[in-house]
C-alpha cells in the first residue's frame, strides 16, 4: 500500500469499452495514489453488477439504462445507480456532483462524477457506456 493510502493496482487505459493494461515498454502497467482511486471508480461504474462471480455485488447497474431513452426519470435513476455503486468505496468521503448525458438515441451514456477523497483530494471521473 502506498504512503497516502490510495494503494497500487494494475493500470488500465480505457479505449471505448476495452482496457489495455500494458505500458509503452510492453510490461504490465501500474497505477498508484489518486490515479488508483480514479481507476477504481471507473472500474466500479463500468463493471455490470453480477459479472464477477467471486464478487457478485461489485459494479453498477448503469448498463441496464442503455436504450431506455433520455428523460428526467432515467437521469435520476442513473445518478442513484452511481451512488449505489460507489457507496462501498471507502476512499470516497463525498460525492459532490453527478452529471448524466445521454446520446439522442439513448444507446450511449456519459457520466461525470466529482468526488472528494478521504484525503481531501478532489477528483472528477468521466465514463462512457455504449
Whether this model's pTM surpasses 0.75: yes
Average pLDDT value over all residues in the chain:
87
| pLDDT of amino acid 106 | 77
| pLDDT of amino acid 92 | 97
| pLDDT of amino acid 1 | 40
pLDDT digits (tens, 9 = 90+) for 14-54: 655 555 555 565 578 888 889 999 999 999 999 999 999 99
| pLDDT of amino acid 47 | 96
Q: Residues with Cβ < 8 Å from 29, sequence gap 6 or more? A: 10, 11, 12, 13, 21, 22, 23
The one-character DSSP state at 65 is G
User: Locate cell 456532483: which residue?
Assistant: 97
| pLDDT of amino acid 63 | 95
- CATH label, 8-129, candidates 1.10.10.410, 1.10.10.10, 3.40.50.12780, 3.10.450.40: 3.10.450.40
pLDDT digits (tens, 9 = 90+) for 96-118: 999 999 988 878 999 999 999 99
The one-character DSSP state at 103 is -
d(CA 124, CA 38): 8
| pLDDT of amino acid 70 | 86
Q: Residues with Cβ < 8 Å from 123, sequence gap 6 or more? A: 34, 37, 38, 41, 114, 115, 116, 117
| pLDDT of amino acid 3 | 46
Q: What percent of the chain has pLDDT over 70?
A: 86
Amino acid at each position: 500500500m502506498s504512503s497516502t493510502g490510495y494503494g497500487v493496482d494494475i493500470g488500465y487505459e480505457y479505449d471505448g469499452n476495452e482496457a489495455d493494461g500494458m505500458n509503452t515498454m510492453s510490461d504490465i502497467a501500474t497505477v498508484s495514489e489518486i490515479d488508483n482511486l480514479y481507476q477504481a471508480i471507473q472500474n466500479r461504474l463500468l463493471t455490470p453488477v453480477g459479472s464477477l462471480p467471486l464478487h457478485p455485488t461489485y459494479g453498477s447497474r448503469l448498463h441496464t439504462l442503455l436504450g431506455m431513452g433520455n428523460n428526467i426519470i432515467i437521469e435520476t435513476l442513473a445518478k442513484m445507480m452511481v451512488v449505489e455503486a460507489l457507496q462501498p468505496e471507502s476512499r470516497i468521503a463525498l460525492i459532490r456532483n453527478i452529471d448524466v448525458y445521454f446520446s439522442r438515441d439513448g444507446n450511449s451514456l456519459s457520466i461525470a462524477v466529482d468526488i472528494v477523497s478521504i484525503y481531501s483530494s478532489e477528483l472528477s471521473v468521466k465514463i462512457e457506456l455504449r
